[in-house]
Amino acid sequence: MLQIAKEGTSCYLPNLVAVVTSQYEGEENMMAASWYSQVSAHPLRFGVAISKERYTYSLVKQSGAFAINFLPYSHSHWIKISGTISKRDQDKLTSQSIDLISGEKTGVPILAQSFLAYECRVHQMIPCGDHDWFVGDIITTYWQPDCFNEYGSVNLNHLHYPLHLGGFHFLNLKQVNQLKSD
Ligand SMILES: Cc1cc2nc3c(=O)[nH]c(=O)nc-3n(C[C@H](O)[C@H](O)[C@H](O)COP(=O)(O)O)c2cc1C
């Protein structure tokens, strides 16, 4: 039965966690982000909530650019690392020997193992509370075409899609798909 929850209750719905990459004056970083959305189709724009406490926050604010990367299930451990360690304590990108591509318009690092990545230039910053909402113009899209079907939906026959269940648990959507058809 639907009930009123205690004030302040916040629930976690399984989603695909993004990795926000950034760089400023040669310093590069990555951070996990669950709070994101495409916010416009014409022009193409994408928003992500970044807390002022994140090292990423100052890099994005100073450079005016960021990238949104989506990784396959096989690289879920990078999502965990990027969301639990701050660059203040460890250089996550070099400690994991992550292959990077330099974003063609802004130089922001793109994770080469992503199945989809958006290079964005900051259009607007909206204060929201303990996070600011960064809206970026998507200026370049990178993808692995095999991971998508002709309608632009993910191709689960090819892509292992990591749904984050909370904590360090990820569901491999490919397996669910296989179980259903068995
Ligand atoms: C699954 C997951 C989702 C997260 N989502 C966000 C988010 O949307 N926005 C945010 O500011 N921090 C988010 N975080 C926290 C940051 O990823 C984390 O504090 C990170 O260590 C910051 O790195 P940095 O200080 O190097 O930028 C998330 C963490 C996890 C594990």
pLDDT of residue 96: 85
Residues above pLDDT 70, as percent of the chain: 96
Whether 50 lines ligand 1, by a CB cut-off of 6 Å, is yes
pLDDT at 179: 53
Contact 122, 108 (CB under 8 A): no
Spatial distance between the Cα atoms of 148 and 145, rounded to a whole number of angstroms: 6
pLDDT recorded at residue 10? 87
Residue 182 reports pLDDT greater than 80: no
Residue of 16, 27, 34 with the most ligand 1 atoms within 8 Å of its CB, for mutation: 34
**Ligand 1 mean position to 179 CA, how many Å?**
32
Strands 169-172 and 36-40: unpaired
Beta strands in the chain (DSSP E): 18-24, 27-33, 36-40, 45-51, 65-70, 100-102, 109-111, 116-127, 131-143, 162-166, 169-172
Q: Give which of 51, 69, 56 is closest to 133, Cα–Cα.
A: 51
**Cβ(55) – ligand 1 distance below 6 Å:** yes
State in Å: Cα 147 to ligand 1 middle. Answer: 26
pLDDT higher than 60, residue 132: yes
In this prediction, residue 125 carries a pLDDT of: 98
Closest ligand 1 atom to Cα of 84: 21
Ligand 1, atom nearest to 35 Cα: 8
What pLDDT does residue 157 have?
87
Rg of the chain in Å (alpha carbons): 17
Q: What is the pLDDT of residue 77?
A: 94
Higher pLDDT, 66 or 167: 66
Does the Cβ of 60 fall within 6 Å of ligand 1? Answer: no
The token pair at 96 is 């994991």
At 84 the pLDDT is 96
Distance 33 CA to ligand 1 centre (A): 5
Instruction: Assign domain 18-181 to a CATH class.
Output: mainly beta
Q: Output the pLDDT for position 177.
A: 52
Instruction: Give the per-residue pLDDT at 176.
Output: 60
Cα distance from N-terminal residue to C-terminal residue, the chain? 33
Per-residue pLDDT for 123 more than 70?
yes
- Using CB atoms within 10 Å of the CB of residue 71, give its burial: 0 to 12 exposed, 13 to 18 middle, 19+ buried: buried
- 43-102 tens-digit pLDDT: 999 999 999 999 999 999 999 999 999 999 999 999 999 999 999 999 999 998 899 999
Say which residues have a Cβ less than 8 Å from residue 95's Cβ, sequence separation at least 6: none
* 35 and 48 Cβ atoms separated by less than 8 Å: yes
Range of weakest confidence among 18-27, 41-50, 60-69, 157-166: 157-166
The pLDDT, as a whole number, for residue 174 is 79
In this structure, the strands spanning 18-24 and 169-172 are unpaired
* Per-domain residue ranges of the chain: 18-181
**Cα-to-chain-centroid distance, residue 162:** 12
Q: Average pLDDT over the chain, rounded to whole? A: 94
